[in-house]
Chain A
């Protein structure tokens, strides 16, 4: 090696060190309680990340205004996982190592969630999921250090729509379209499990799978239109993909041709740019998790207002979940008098959360909060300028989740 190169390597390292070490020193006041928040802050799913962060920050501000947690300020540090598990894992490690986070929370991508979950299991730190839906996070791959305060794919995309369909149209011939990845596949599996139980001679006459993230569904729509089914079911197609699908399906007149079951349509952030007269999921059976327009709680209304002021759009269920997570941590810390991980886990396991959607218990076996799922028909109504679950017809709680016995079996099979 030329001598210059060694010199350069050394100098580079020294420069790098100096910059790195020039980190701001911690203020010598009361040490804050640090929650590391990892979410998708850029890219196609960033609306959920930004919304969830807003929900969390609202809680942080409220809690600190009321004196903090046991006199200590609450601090939330946000990192972007870019929907990439490698990046998310790196950020999680950094939050625990350099920022000394006491807890981790967040994620929408199940792949990121699983990666972080695996890490916190080794490091013995708590990670609370606020959106990621793959059931395996708390079921097959569940362990002591992971919690989820949200629904999961089983109730939200599987059991709840199945029960909803069985209570309304009872269609016999269904064609399904989903994103081709694990959560998509498992959602359809859960839907079939429950629906065939309730309507025995029903059939999925065709299962279509689109590459994850695609926004062009034209070929699939023509196939669905020609399939002769009574209804179509979307498995795990949400966000920008769902909006694109709806536009295209509407243009092909698909909503007039057959029944539509779009579980994710209850999420408001997909539709808030859609005005009356534009394509929307007309008459679709959908599920939703935070129908704030129908909730008559002043705290909920205040939350919606604060969220709107922060980010100029209506809150997603993710924002609500993150809000609840912050308060849950506060309650647990106050109960045990500190941030000791093992004690906090015990406190959380026996906790009932006070949320805008009711008093929700956290199930001790799988650390899954029994968050409810509403179902209803999508339409416009005077409450909001964009389409939403205008006529909610029912709500499901614990009965729409896998039972503890089912989870035990899944964990044994692994």
Chain B
């Protein structure tokens, strides 16, 4: 493998990893604070994608329609998340994890069929928006600017989230609730509202990922199922509830997929699961999580 080839694989692996990071970050935050394993997170991502497509085509006459869609779709998705949290999830926090798993599985079916009902069964695509629609030459390899844009977005969101958690009042509240729910409640923090807020934030991230994906891929049914397993792997490797962990896990998975096709393509798929198992057994709180 030449250096150029390695560079190419690295960049492509990371750009895909960044989108996965956004989804996994949402899943991780939701698990860290609410202790809910949200199986429907992939569906939320898919809804974000469909909304992006829907808004881009509806607003096609307005210049920069994609950017408006990128702005609005995650917000709409976050609102949907809030609705789901208040009316459905809130009732099962006290219950066993099994109920959450099955409830969110039911949500997968509901959300998936709703997308099918609204947008039909075809494949939909969104053109790459100006000004990130060119190509650049990196060491002789043509690389789409949009993929670099994705890397930039991922890093920006990561830094933004870290800043949110560390330096803002809201971040402090979230961390307090994550650390000790009862104590936070006793100190006057409106815990249910924080829960709703965190869930909405997680959904916002998934929706953002969903909106960023269409220009470089297709929007179609079935994306929910394929993405959720990857997310689980990332979140386990990185650490349930850890934001830097999600970033690290996503980068690892993205690079593993990119380089795996060079080494042993057949086992590349199983490799990710094996890594997941190894981590769960020797260090279940993940590479960057904290033991409970």
With A221-B12, A244-B218, A251-B216 given, is the CB distance from A313 to B122 under 8 Å?
Answer: yes
Whether A216 pairs with B2 at a CB distance below 8 angstroms is: no
Once bound together, how far apart are the Cα atoms of A244 and B220, in whole Å?
Answer: 10
Whether, in the assembled complex, A391 has its beta carbon less than 8 Å from a beta carbon of chain B, the answer is no
Chain B interface residues toward A at CB < 8 A: 2, 4-5, 8-9, 11-13, 15-16, 116, 121-125, 127-128, 135, 141-144, 146-147, 215-218, 220-223, 226, 257-259, 261-262, 265-266, 269
For B262, the closest partner residue in chain A by CB is: A223
Cβ–Cβ < 8 Å partners of B222 in chain A: 43-44, 213
Whether, in the assembled complex, A273 has its beta carbon less than 8 Å from a beta carbon of chain B, the answer is yes
| Chain A contacts with B in 242-268, Cβ cutoff 8 A | 243-244, 247-248, 251-253, 257
With A226-B4, A313-B122 given, is the CB distance from A218 to B15 under 8 Å?
Answer: yes
CB distance from B52 to the nearest CB of A (A): 15
Whether B8 pairs with A225 at a CB distance below 8 angstroms is: yes
CB distance from A208 to the nearest CB of B (A): 6
Whether A223 pairs with B5 at a CB distance below 8 angstroms is: yes
Whether B262 pairs with A244 at a CB distance below 8 angstroms is: no
Cβ–Cβ < 8 Å partners of B141 in chain A: 222, 225-226
Known: A46-B121, A225-B141, A257-B142. 15 other contacts (CB 8 A): A43-B221, A44-B220, A215-B217, A219-B16, A219-B259, A223-B5, A247-B215, A247-B216, A247-B218, A252-B144, A253-B135, A273-B123, A273-B125, A274-B125, A278-B127
Most buried by A among B12, B223, B265: B12
Cβ–Cβ < 8 Å partners of B261 in chain A: 208, 210, 219-220, 223
Once bound together, how far apart are the Cα atoms of A248 and B143, in whole Å?
Answer: 10
Most buried by A among B8, B9, B121, B265: B121
Quick one: which of B9, B125, B258, B259 contacts A243, CB cutoff 8 A? Answer: B125
Sort A-B residue pairs by CB-CB distance and give the 3 closest, nearest first: A251-B144, A222-B8, A46-B121
Cβ–Cβ < 8 Å partners of A253 in chain B: 135, 142
**B-contact 0/1 string along A267-287, CB 8 Å cutoff:** 001100110011100000000
Cβ–Cβ < 8 Å partners of B12 in chain A: 218-219, 221-222
Once bound together, how far apart are the Cα atoms of A42 and B216, in whole Å?
Answer: 24
Cβ–Cβ < 8 Å partners of B259 in chain A: 219
Cβ–Cβ < 8 Å partners of B215 in chain A: 247
Whether A218 pairs with B269 at a CB distance below 8 angstroms is: no
Quick one: which of A209, A223, A240 contacts B218, CB cutoff 8 A? Answer: A240
CB distance from B139 to the nearest CB of A (A): 10
CB distance from A221 to the nearest CB of B (A): 7
Most buried by B among A208, A210, A216: A216
Cβ–Cβ < 8 Å partners of A180 in chain B: 265-266
Whether, in the assembled complex, A35 has its beta carbon less than 8 Å from a beta carbon of chain B, the answer is no
Cβ–Cβ < 8 Å partners of A44 in chain B: 123, 220-222
Quick one: which of A209, A211, A239 contacts B123, CB cutoff 8 A? Answer: A239
Quick one: which of A215, A247, A279, A313 contacts B223, CB cutoff 8 A? Answer: A215
Whether A273 pairs with B142 at a CB distance below 8 angstroms is: no
Cβ–Cβ < 8 Å partners of A279 in chain B: 127-128
Whether B226 pairs with A213 at a CB distance below 8 angstroms is: yes
For B223, the closest partner residue in chain A by CB is: A215
Cβ–Cβ < 8 Å partners of A209 in chain B: 265-266
Quick one: which of A50, A225, A251 contacts B128, CB cutoff 8 A? Answer: A251
Once bound together, how far apart are the Cα atoms of A31 and B159, in whole Å?
Answer: 70
CB distance from A206 to the nearest CB of B (A): 10
Whether A240 pairs with B142 at a CB distance below 8 angstroms is: no
Whether A211 pairs with B269 at a CB distance below 8 angstroms is: yes
For A50, the closest partner residue in chain B by CB is: B121
Whether B125 pairs with A278 at a CB distance below 8 angstroms is: yes
CB distance from B153 to the nearest CB of A (A): 16
Once bound together, how far apart are the Cα atoms of A222 and B257, in whole Å?
Answer: 13
CB distance from B133 to the nearest CB of A (A): 8
Cβ–Cβ < 8 Å partners of A221 in chain B: 12
Cβ–Cβ < 8 Å partners of A137 in chain B: none
Once bound together, how far apart are the Cα atoms of A82 and B15, in whole Å?
Answer: 32
Whether A247 pairs with B121 at a CB distance below 8 angstroms is: no
Whether, in the assembled complex, A47 has its beta carbon less than 8 Å from a beta carbon of chain B, the answer is yes
Once bound together, how far apart are the Cα atoms of A361 and B8, in whole Å?
Answer: 50
Whether, in the assembled complex, A12 has its beta carbon less than 8 Å from a beta carbon of chain B, the answer is no
For A210, the closest partner residue in chain B by CB is: B261
For A214, the closest partner residue in chain B by CB is: B226
Once bound together, how far apart are the Cα atoms of A221 and B265, in whole Å?
Answer: 15
CB distance from A120 to the nearest CB of B (A): 28
CB distance from A225 to the nearest CB of B (A): 6
A-B contacts, 15 listed (Cβ < 8 Å): A46-B221, A210-B261, A211-B269, A213-B226, A216-B217, A223-B5, A226-B2, A240-B220, A248-B144, A252-B135, A257-B142, A270-B123, A273-B124, A273-B125, A278-B125
Once bound together, how far apart are the Cα atoms of A43 and B222, in whole Å?
Answer: 6
**B-contact 0/1 string along A38-63, CB 8 Å cutoff:** 00001110110010000000000000
CB distance from A311 to the nearest CB of B (A): 10
For A227, the closest partner residue in chain B by CB is: B5
Whether A219 pairs with B125 at a CB distance below 8 angstroms is: no
Whether B220 pairs with A215 at a CB distance below 8 angstroms is: yes
For A252, the closest partner residue in chain B by CB is: B142
Whether A273 pairs with B217 at a CB distance below 8 angstroms is: no
| Chain A contacts with B in 217-242, Cβ cutoff 8 A | 218-223, 225-226, 239-240
Once bound together, how far apart are the Cα atoms of A239 and B222, in whole Å?
Answer: 13
Once bound together, how far apart are the Cα atoms of A338 and B116, in whole Å?
Answer: 41
Whether B221 pairs with A42 at a CB distance below 8 angstroms is: yes
Whether B5 pairs with A248 at a CB distance below 8 angstroms is: no
Once bound together, how far apart are the Cα atoms of A208 and B263, in whole Å?
Answer: 11
For B226, the closest partner residue in chain A by CB is: A213
Once bound together, how far apart are the Cα atoms of A42 and B122, in whole Å?
Answer: 10
Quick one: which of B13, B128, B217 contacts A219, CB cutoff 8 A? Answer: B13
CB distance from B154 to the nearest CB of A (A): 14
Cβ–Cβ < 8 Å partners of A240 in chain B: 123, 218, 220
CB distance from A341 to the nearest CB of B (A): 34
Once bound together, how far apart are the Cα atoms of A273 and B147, in whole Å?
Answer: 23
Quick one: which of A211, A216, A244, A273 contacts B122, CB cutoff 8 A? Answer: A273
Whether B142 pairs with A225 at a CB distance below 8 angstroms is: yes
Whether B147 pairs with A218 at a CB distance below 8 angstroms is: yes
Cβ–Cβ < 8 Å partners of A313 in chain B: 122
Once bound together, how far apart are the Cα atoms of A274 and B123, in whole Å?
Answer: 10
Cβ–Cβ < 8 Å partners of B218 in chain A: 215, 240, 243-244, 247
Whether B16 pairs with A218 at a CB distance below 8 angstroms is: yes
